[in-house]
Amino acid sequence: MEASSKDFLKLHFIVFLWGFTAILGNEMTIPATEVVMYRTALASIVLAGFMYFKSKTFQVNISDLRPLILTGFVIAIHWFLFFESARVSNVSVSLAGMATTTFWTSLIEPLVNKRKIRSFEVILGLVVISGLYVIFRFEFSNALGLGLAMASAFMAALFSVLNGKLTHRLSQYTITLYEMAAAAIGIAIFIPFYKYFFLAETTTYAIPTTRDWGLLAILSVVCTVYAFSASVELMKRITAYVVNLTINLEPVYGIILAIIIYGESEEMSSGFYYGTLIILAAVLSYPVIRRSQRRALERKKKLGLQ
């Protein structure tokens, strides 16, 4: 099925919601690991309740269970790195680093789906990298945060490609439920080891405050259950590369929100915004290039028939 204009508008709305997640995570008092654990646990509980009352199937084949669990673990790592990046630097740097998702996807998707690498996708990915280079030159003090965000982007590219294969066999609700549950269990097992070996802290879990629970509810229901399920459903008609290219707008939406909410603490150097504009140019050029390629292919077919 071909994607409609409504599908692309919906995708942009989802990306806007994801741009807001870094702000929500940054506002909580609990560590990034616990943010991911509570977020995914609440999301899986809410979604399970929704599926039960809507009589949606919970059944999956054993052959699909392993990739669902694996993808859930990848999602947990992605979100942990994402929230941790925002805390060691700031929201804007974290969101800018996520723009490398396009480059990673241009390399991962052809390998997983066993298709040829499209040169223009790699070129656009490199353009995004050049935008990040401009940002990095002027924001070197935020190198750790940017590095964590780029690692998070790699994980985002990986789980998007993996989900792209699952969407053809399972519903978006089933995929989201099992992946959120796997992410919650995986991060819950990881937390004690992480705190003991890396932080030399107590291995107990941090308890959210009342305000944290409210933010977690928004993060879980709106930014996870709705946004994640809707994005998985859209991938039936939109490729993982296009989804991740559009996700590059997440820094733009998120940075605007961060500046509105945090003011001067989120204002960056001019190089940061030049780099972001380069990223935006790569995002907007993709549909133009694809449209011209399709038209050229159609012309060749017509000429071949004549």
Q: Give me the pLDDT at residue 264, please.
A: 61
Highest mean pLDDT among 24-38, 46-60, 121-135, 218-232: 24-38
Asked if 257 and 20 touch (Cβ cutoff 8 Å), the reply is yes
Listed by start position, the domains of the chain span 5-305
Sign of CA dihedral 155, 147, 267, 261: positive
pLDDT digits 0-9 by tens, 180-201: 999 999 999 999 998 888 887 7
More confident residue, 73 or 291: 73
Three-class DSSP category at 60: coil
pLDDT at 306 over 60: no
Sign of CA dihedral 245, 246, 252, 253: negative
pLDDT at 43 over 80: yes
Q: What is the DSSP code (8-state) at residue 114? A: T
Show Cβ contacts of residue 278 under 8 Å, excluding neighbours closer than 6 positions. Answer: 127, 128, 130, 131, 134
Q: Measure the CA–CA gap between 130 and 86, rounded to whole angstroms.
A: 21
pLDDT at 272 over 90: no
Q: Where are the alpha helices (DSSP H) in the chain?
A: 5-27, 32-53, 62-88, 91-97, 101-113, 119-138, 143-166, 172-194, 210-220, 227-234, 240-247, 250-262, 270-305
Q: Give me the pLDDT at residue 170, please.
A: 83
Angle at 142 between CA 140 and CA 144, to 5 degrees: 110
Asked if 121 and 113 touch (Cβ cutoff 8 Å), the reply is no
pTM over 0.75: yes
Q: Give me the pLDDT at residue 268, please.
A: 65
Q: Give me the pLDDT at residue 266, please.
A: 56
Alpha carbon 282 to chain centroid distance? 18
More confident residue, 44 or 203: 44
Reading the block at residue 153, the tokens are: 């982007």
Q: Measure the CA–CA gap between 214 and 126, rounded to whole angstroms.
A: 39
Reading the block at residue 83, the tokens are: 């929230």
